[in-house]
Amino acid sequence: MKVSTKGRYALRMLLDLAEHKNEFVPLKEIAERQNISKQYLEQIVSLLNTSNIIRANRGKQGGYQLAKKPTQITVGQVLRITEGSLAPVACLDDETNLCERASFCRTLPMWQGLNKVITDYLDSVNLQSMLDQYEKQSADFYVI
């Protein structure tokens, strides 16, 4: 599994929104702060909006905000929305393994184990824990 720019940028955008808590933030501001093209963010917004991760508000005070608390949005969720499957091999993409070799594949248990580690880890990390980790790391580097 290799995470594309879409997945990475979606996480950056959502972290930006999480930092601005209950405000509606214009996409232009997010694009400027994150150094991401506004047009590319518009594609990502479309995915996140239909998945009920963010909500939009039009008008003068318009913009985007998280539709859930940062503790309720996991990296796994976001990457599944932007990337599709997180499986390391194609035979694990679907709930039922359709591979004709599945019943005698010697490598399948290893791939299943890797898939479980990836999934468990990404589903255990939420936006709030990422913000908290960054703040702690930043505090450790504070110099007078």
Q: From start to end of 8-143, where are the E strands?
A: 54-57, 63-66
Alpha-carbon distance values, 12 to 6, 33, 37, 41, 44 (Å): 10, 10, 13, 10, 11
**Tens-of-pLDDT digits for all 144 residues of the chain?**
789 999 999 999 999 999 998 889 999 999 999 999 999 999 999 999 999 999 999 888 889 999 999 999 999 999 999 999 999 999 998 888 888 898 999 999 999 999 999 999 999 999 999 999 988 877 666 656
Topology (CATH) of 5-140: Arc Repressor Mutant, subunit A (1.10.10)
Q: Are 55 and 64 in contact (CB under 8 A)?
A: yes
Domains of the chain by residue range: 5-140
The count of C-alpha atoms lying within 13 angstroms of the C-alpha of 111, restricted to the half-sphere facing its C-beta, is: 15
